[in-house]
Amino acid sequence: MWGILVGDGIWLRLLERHHAEPLFALTDRNREHLRPWLPWVDDVREVGDSLAFIEKGLERFARGAGYELGIWLEENLIGVIGVHSIDRANASTSIGYWLDAGHQGRGIMTRAVATVLDDLFFVRGLHRVEIRVAPENHRSRAIPERLGFRMEGILREAGRYGGRWGDLMVYAILDREWEARRHYTSCL
Protein backbone atom coordinates (compact mmCIF):
# COMPACT_ATOMS: atom_id res chain seq x y z
CA MET A 1 0.00 0.00 0.00
CA TRP A 2 1.46 3.35 -1.08
CA GLY A 3 1.35 5.95 1.64
CA ILE A 4 3.01 8.99 3.17
CA LEU A 5 3.49 9.64 6.88
CA VAL A 6 2.27 13.10 7.87
CA GLY A 7 3.08 12.71 11.58
CA ASP A 8 1.31 12.35 14.94
CA GLY A 9 -0.44 9.17 13.80
CA ILE A 10 -1.69 10.75 10.55
CA TRP A 11 -1.06 8.89 7.30
CA LEU A 12 -2.04 9.53 3.71
CA ARG A 13 -2.65 6.17 2.05
CA LEU A 14 -3.74 5.33 -1.45
CA LEU A 15 -7.42 4.41 -1.39
CA GLU A 16 -7.80 0.79 -2.48
CA ARG A 17 -10.82 -1.36 -3.26
CA HIS A 18 -11.05 -2.81 0.26
CA HIS A 19 -11.52 0.76 1.59
CA ALA A 20 -14.89 1.17 -0.15
CA GLU A 21 -16.95 0.32 2.94
CA PRO A 22 -15.13 2.66 5.36
CA LEU A 23 -15.15 5.41 2.73
CA PHE A 24 -18.88 5.03 2.19
CA ALA A 25 -19.51 5.03 5.96
CA LEU A 26 -17.42 8.19 6.38
CA THR A 27 -19.22 9.90 3.50
CA ASP A 28 -22.60 8.84 4.84
CA ARG A 29 -21.81 10.20 8.32
CA ASN A 30 -20.72 13.55 6.85
CA ARG A 31 -23.45 14.13 4.26
CA GLU A 32 -24.92 17.21 5.90
CA HIS A 33 -21.46 18.62 6.54
CA LEU A 34 -20.30 18.07 2.93
CA ARG A 35 -23.49 18.79 0.97
CA PRO A 36 -23.18 22.60 0.93
CA TRP A 37 -19.77 22.39 -0.81
CA LEU A 38 -19.48 19.15 -2.76
CA PRO A 39 -21.90 18.34 -5.59
CA TRP A 40 -21.19 14.59 -5.65
CA VAL A 41 -22.38 13.81 -2.11
CA ASP A 42 -25.95 12.89 -3.04
CA ASP A 43 -24.71 10.66 -5.87
CA VAL A 44 -22.94 8.41 -3.34
CA ARG A 45 -25.84 6.17 -2.36
CA GLU A 46 -24.14 2.82 -1.69
CA VAL A 47 -20.77 1.17 -1.17
CA GLY A 48 -20.56 0.52 -4.93
CA ASP A 49 -20.47 4.27 -5.57
CA SER A 50 -17.49 4.65 -3.24
CA LEU A 51 -15.85 1.65 -4.93
CA ALA A 52 -16.29 3.28 -8.36
CA PHE A 53 -14.62 6.45 -7.05
CA ILE A 54 -11.71 4.43 -5.67
CA GLU A 55 -11.30 2.50 -8.93
CA LYS A 56 -11.11 5.74 -10.93
CA GLY A 57 -8.44 7.00 -8.54
CA LEU A 58 -6.48 3.75 -8.90
CA GLU A 59 -6.63 4.05 -12.69
CA ARG A 60 -5.21 7.59 -12.49
CA PHE A 61 -2.50 6.42 -10.08
CA ALA A 62 -1.49 3.55 -12.39
CA ARG A 63 -1.12 6.02 -15.29
CA GLY A 64 0.81 8.51 -13.15
CA ALA A 65 -2.02 10.98 -13.70
CA GLY A 66 -3.12 11.63 -10.12
CA TYR A 67 -4.35 9.81 -7.05
CA GLU A 68 -6.93 9.64 -4.28
CA LEU A 69 -5.56 9.30 -0.76
CA GLY A 70 -7.40 8.47 2.40
CA ILE A 71 -6.45 10.53 5.42
CA TRP A 72 -5.99 8.10 8.27
CA LEU A 73 -5.65 8.85 11.96
CA GLU A 74 -4.10 5.66 13.29
CA GLU A 75 -6.36 3.08 11.61
CA ASN A 76 -9.41 5.30 11.17
CA LEU A 77 -10.29 6.89 7.83
CA ILE A 78 -11.11 10.54 8.55
CA GLY A 79 -10.95 12.23 5.14
CA VAL A 80 -9.81 12.26 1.53
CA ILE A 81 -7.33 14.32 -0.46
CA GLY A 82 -7.15 13.89 -4.21
CA VAL A 83 -4.81 14.96 -6.97
CA HIS A 84 -6.96 15.52 -10.03
CA SER A 85 -5.68 14.79 -13.51
CA ILE A 86 -2.05 15.82 -13.87
CA ASP A 87 -1.39 17.88 -16.98
CA ARG A 88 2.10 16.64 -17.90
CA ALA A 89 2.57 19.12 -20.74
CA ASN A 90 2.15 22.02 -18.33
CA ALA A 91 3.38 20.20 -15.19
CA SER A 92 0.28 21.24 -13.30
CA THR A 93 -2.68 19.82 -11.43
CA SER A 94 -5.35 20.71 -8.91
CA ILE A 95 -6.20 19.13 -5.60
CA GLY A 96 -9.38 18.70 -3.63
CA TYR A 97 -10.00 17.54 -0.08
CA TRP A 98 -12.53 16.95 2.64
CA LEU A 99 -12.33 16.00 6.29
CA ASP A 100 -14.69 14.44 8.80
CA ALA A 101 -16.52 17.20 10.68
CA GLY A 102 -15.32 15.87 14.04
CA HIS A 103 -11.65 16.18 13.07
CA GLN A 104 -11.65 19.76 11.80
CA GLY A 105 -9.83 22.59 13.50
CA ARG A 106 -6.73 20.55 14.41
CA GLY A 107 -4.50 21.41 11.45
CA ILE A 108 -4.84 17.93 9.98
CA MET A 109 -5.88 19.06 6.51
CA THR A 110 -3.28 21.83 6.34
CA ARG A 111 -0.58 19.26 7.09
CA ALA A 112 -2.06 16.77 4.62
CA VAL A 113 -2.10 19.37 1.83
CA ALA A 114 1.49 20.38 2.65
CA THR A 115 2.54 16.72 2.45
CA VAL A 116 0.86 16.31 -0.94
CA LEU A 117 2.52 19.51 -2.19
CA ASP A 118 5.90 18.08 -1.18
CA ASP A 119 5.12 14.98 -3.24
CA LEU A 120 3.86 16.92 -6.25
CA PHE A 121 6.71 19.41 -6.38
CA PHE A 122 9.72 17.53 -5.02
CA VAL A 123 8.97 13.96 -6.17
CA ARG A 124 6.80 14.37 -9.27
CA GLY A 125 8.42 17.57 -10.50
CA LEU A 126 5.27 19.60 -11.08
CA HIS A 127 5.37 23.37 -11.57
CA ARG A 128 1.89 24.56 -10.47
CA VAL A 129 -0.90 23.35 -8.18
CA GLU A 130 -4.38 24.86 -7.90
CA ILE A 131 -7.12 24.64 -5.31
CA ARG A 132 -10.63 25.84 -6.17
CA VAL A 133 -13.03 26.63 -3.36
CA ALA A 134 -16.37 28.33 -2.79
CA PRO A 135 -15.95 31.86 -1.39
CA GLU A 136 -18.32 31.03 1.49
CA ASN A 137 -16.33 27.93 2.52
CA HIS A 138 -14.07 29.75 4.98
CA ARG A 139 -12.53 26.63 6.54
CA SER A 140 -11.50 25.29 3.15
CA ARG A 141 -10.23 28.68 1.97
CA ALA A 142 -8.05 29.00 5.07
CA ILE A 143 -5.90 26.06 3.95
CA PRO A 144 -4.42 27.51 0.74
CA GLU A 145 -4.21 30.92 2.40
CA ARG A 146 -2.27 29.44 5.33
CA LEU A 147 0.06 27.56 2.97
CA GLY A 148 1.02 30.58 0.87
CA PHE A 149 -1.13 30.06 -2.22
CA ARG A 150 -2.13 33.18 -4.12
CA MET A 151 -5.76 33.86 -4.85
CA GLU A 152 -5.69 34.46 -8.60
CA GLY A 153 -9.30 35.14 -9.33
CA ILE A 154 -12.91 34.11 -9.08
CA LEU A 155 -14.62 31.92 -11.65
CA ARG A 156 -18.22 33.06 -11.85
CA GLU A 157 -20.81 30.30 -11.31
CA ALA A 158 -18.19 27.66 -12.18
CA GLY A 159 -19.29 25.12 -9.59
CA ARG A 160 -22.52 23.49 -8.57
CA TYR A 161 -22.76 23.11 -4.82
CA GLY A 162 -25.49 23.44 -2.25
CA GLY A 163 -28.05 22.84 -5.00
CA ARG A 164 -27.14 25.99 -6.89
CA TRP A 165 -24.50 27.47 -9.15
CA GLY A 166 -21.77 29.22 -7.23
CA ASP A 167 -18.50 31.00 -7.76
CA LEU A 168 -15.15 29.31 -7.24
CA MET A 169 -12.04 31.07 -6.00
CA VAL A 170 -8.86 29.90 -7.71
CA TYR A 171 -5.79 29.62 -5.52
CA ALA A 172 -2.42 28.52 -6.94
CA ILE A 173 1.13 27.98 -5.84
CA LEU A 174 4.25 27.45 -7.97
CA ASP A 175 7.11 25.06 -7.27
CA ARG A 176 9.60 27.84 -6.45
CA GLU A 177 7.10 29.50 -4.10
CA TRP A 178 6.52 26.24 -2.25
CA GLU A 179 10.24 25.49 -2.09
CA ALA A 180 10.96 28.93 -0.60
CA ARG A 181 8.09 28.57 1.87
CA ARG A 182 9.24 25.10 2.97
CA HIS A 183 12.81 26.36 3.31
CA TYR A 184 11.79 29.18 5.67
CA THR A 185 8.91 27.46 7.48
CA SER A 186 9.41 24.71 9.98
CA CYS A 187 5.95 24.82 11.55
CA LEU A 188 4.33 22.42 9.08
Between CA 71 and CA 64 the distance in angstroms is 20
pLDDT at 84: 94
Dihedral pair phi/psi, residue 112, rounded to 5°: -65, -45
Of 143, 141, 80, the C-alpha closest to 110 is 143
Torsions phi, psi of 134, nearest 5?
-65, 135
How high does pLDDT run on average in the chain?
Answer: 94
User: What is the mean pLDDT of the segment spanning 55-64?
Assistant: 96
CA-based nearest residue to 178, from 136, 135, 128: 128
Q: What is the pLDDT of residue 5?
A: 86
Q: Give the rounded distance of the alpha carbon of 159 from its chain centre.
A: 16
Q: How confident is the model at residue 1 (pLDDT cuts 50, 70, 90)?
A: low
**pLDDT band at residue 185, thresholds of 50, 70 and 90?**
low
Exposed/middle/buried for 100, CB within 10 Å: 0-12, 13-18, 19+? buried
Is-contact 156 148, C-beta < 8 A? no
**Residue 163: what pLDDT?**
87
List, in order of start, the domains of the chain with CATH numbers. Answer: 3-184 (3.40.630.30)
pLDDT tens for each residue of 136-157? 999 999 999 999 999 999 999 9
Query: Has this prediction a pTM greater than 0.85?
Result: yes
